[in-house]
Structure 1
Amino acid sequence: MIFTETRLSGAYVIDLEYINDERGFFARAWCKKEFEKYGLNSNLVQCNLSHNVKRGTLRGMHYQAAPYEEAKLVSCISGAIYDVIVDLREKSPTFKQWQAFELSAQNHRMLYIPEGFAHGFQTLQDNTSVFYQMSDFYHPECARGVRWDDSTINVEWPKIKEMIISSKDKSYANFIA
């Protein structure tokens, strides 16, 4: 695996190293020792799958508050997404900054998102599935969100004619530190 730190400290893009032959390829997609070598939380305790029928589906911006903050490892196993992270760590030099990445079934890229970040994505294709691994269990009392169009963060989302956003995600307030 190839770990590339993003401009938001502690977040990494992870590319696979392929062993190719006439059958296709083999690649390691998880290694506790490699994650620990980079100082990343390797305690992955829960996996989730999100299937999205329509292009333009937007999910986010979600995070889990203390004491159950969670790191996430996200990959797109079918279709493609525009994956967005926002640094919500008040003492971070990149506080309230965002960055986006295209994850797809074609590029097999993963994104490691540390604790203290909000996360969301918009599907770029119909029938897109996203696989998440989390470092903590889901605690509904700590589930939080930030508006996907928060004017203080200014995420630049892809211009897709028909966006599909849940009423819950639409109800989130702007982020106030």
Structure 2
Amino acid sequence: MIDQVRIKRLTKHCDDRGYFAELVRNDENLLAQFGQASLSMSYPGVIKAFHYHEKQDDLWFFPSGNAQVVLHDLRPSSPTTGQTDVYYMGEENPILLLIPKGVAHGYRVLGEKPATILYFTTESYDPEAPDEKRLPYDSEQIGFSWKTVYR
């Protein structure tokens, strides 16, 4: 696992009315501080990749749909620099994924329905000076193939 990336598996409390699950608590120390919460929906097959931040950490959760999430460590001083990790997240695998600053990240929507991502950041978005550094989804530096291999 890429250094400083953290996963929190969610516990669902189910009854005959549905379920309840805690996402983020202040006593878990997942985020160094709270900056912003955002919500986005993407259609099946869409790839949103890659970008990274110099100042903020991200905490991702997919409450509906499913996604293939790819991380690539760009931090020169990290013990896992150059490492790529893949996570499968969404309603079939409800986890929170902490993405530290300096780690490029992106996702591809899997399946036949849209995916919704709810994410928390340690900084608020500043349109005058966005903390968004971009790499193409097919970046040679990362070298990841988004194709699904059927066996």
Query: Do both proteins adopt the same fold according to a TM-score greater than 0.5, normalized to the shorter chain?
Result: yes
1:149 maps to a residue whose letter is D
The count of aligned residue pairs is 146
Give the match's secondary structure for 1:33.
coil
Distance of 1:100 and 1:14 partners within structure 2: 15
Answer whether contact 1:32 1:42 (CA < 8 A) is retained: no
Partner of 2:33: 43
Partner of 1:106: 92
For structure 1, the 5+ residue unaligned runs are 1-6, 161-177
Answer whether contact 2:41 2:114 (CA < 8 A) is retained: yes
The Cα shift of 1:20 comes to 2.5
Distance of 2:68 and 2:26 partners within structure 1: 26
The Cα shift of 1:151 comes to 2.2
Distance of 1:60 and 1:17 partners within structure 2: 29
Distance of 2:107 and 2:98 partners within structure 1: 14
The Cα shift of 1:104 comes to 0.9
Answer whether contact 2:31 2:59 (CA < 8 A) is retained: no
* CA deviation map 1:47-104 (0-9, x unaligned): 1211112x21011111223xxx111111112211101111111101211211111111
The Cα shift of 1:106 comes to 3.0
Please tell me the root mean square deviation across aligned C-alpha atoms, in Å.
Answer: 1.8
Partner of 1:116: 102
Alignment of 1:63 with 2:52, yes or no, is: yes
1:20 maps to a residue whose letter is C
Give the match's secondary structure for 2:27.
helix
Equivalent of residue 10 in structure 1, options 1, 4, 21: 4
Distance of 2:73 and 2:26 partners within structure 1: 24
Structure with the bigger RCO (C-alpha within 8 Å, sep 6+) is 2
Give aligned-pair identity as a percent: 27
For structure 2, the 5+ residue unaligned runs are none
Q: TM-score, normalised by structure 1?
A: 0.74
The structure carrying a bigger helix percent of its residues is 1
Partner of 1:156: 145
The Cα shift of 1:19 comes to 2.4
